[in-house]
């Protein structure tokens, strides 16, 4: 029961933080669909029931994309969740291209729990790109994103077979090997 309460508290916090944000698709899907969907991939597809991982998945974009601080997460959700969220958060002050390169370099050195969140995040975003092209994106940009994601996922190998198999299938469909 305590776990359920923690997860609801986390979902509520993320929903409040992301309330004014939308995804980049035409329909402007509420942003919170993404962190909830990432957590759902972990529970439904990856077979993960670790509460800290699920909480970190729900919170994974709060610091990167909203005014949330690590101090806030630490105070509300504790050390372990904060540690995972830190590992999956890009440094906001760095240029986009550098951030993308750092994700490739850091992936192999991440902890097991952070790797799980990273895999689920990539899987969700690639499925989202297959579902519909974000507003203003060319097909080249979509392809570049898949190629970059492939490089990150290469560094996450040996973490979770179901998610890695699903990702591999998506890369295969685009002839990325």
Q: Does 24 bind ligand NDP (CB under 6 A)?
A: yes
Q: Does 23 bind ligand NDP (CB under 6 A)?
A: yes
| The binder of Zn ion chosen from 37, 53, 77, 121 (CB under 5 A) | 121
Considering 25, 45, 50, 65, which one is annotated as catalytic? 65
The Cβ-side half-sphere exposure at 119, using a 13 Å CA radius, reads 31
Q: Does 157 bind ligand NDP (CB under 6 A)?
A: no
Cα–Cα dist 65/46, whole Å:
25
Nearer Cβ to ligand NDP, position 87 or 128?
128
* Interface pattern 101-140 for ligand NDP (x via CB under 6 A): --------------------x---x--xx----x---x-x
| The binder of ligand NDP chosen from 102, 141, 157, 172 (CB under 6 A) | 141
Q: Please report, as residue ranges, which positions from 53 to 92 form the binding site for ligand NDP (by CB under 6 A).
A: 61
Binding-residue total with ligand NDP (CB under 6 A): 18
Residue positions annotated with a catalytic role:
64-65
Binding stretches for ligand NDP (CB under 6 A): 23-25, 34, 61, 96-97, 100, 121, 125, 128-129, 134, 138, 140-141, 144-145
């Amino acid at each position: 029961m305590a776990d359920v309460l923690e997860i609801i508290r986390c979902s509520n916090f993320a929903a409040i933080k992301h309330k004014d944000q939308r995804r980049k698709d035409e329909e402007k899907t509420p942003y919170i669909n993404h962190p909830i969907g990432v957590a759902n991939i972990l529970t439904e597809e990856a077979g993960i029931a670790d509460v800290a991982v699920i909480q970190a998945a729900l919170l994974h974009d709060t610091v990167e994309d909203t005014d949330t601080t690590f101090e806030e997460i630490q105070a509300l959700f504790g050390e372990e969740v904060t540690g995972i969220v830190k590992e999956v958060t890009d440094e906001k002050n760095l240029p986009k291209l550098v951030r993308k390169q750092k994700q490739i370099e850091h992936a192999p050195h991440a902890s097991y729990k952070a790797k799980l969140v990273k895999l689920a995040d990539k899987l969700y975003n690639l499925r989202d790109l297959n579902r519909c092209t974000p507003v203003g994106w060319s097909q080249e940009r979509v392809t570049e994103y898949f190629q970059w994601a492939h490089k990150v996922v290469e560094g996450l190998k040996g973490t979770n077979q179901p998610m890695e198999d699903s990702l591999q299938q998506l890369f295969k469909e685009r002839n990325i090997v």
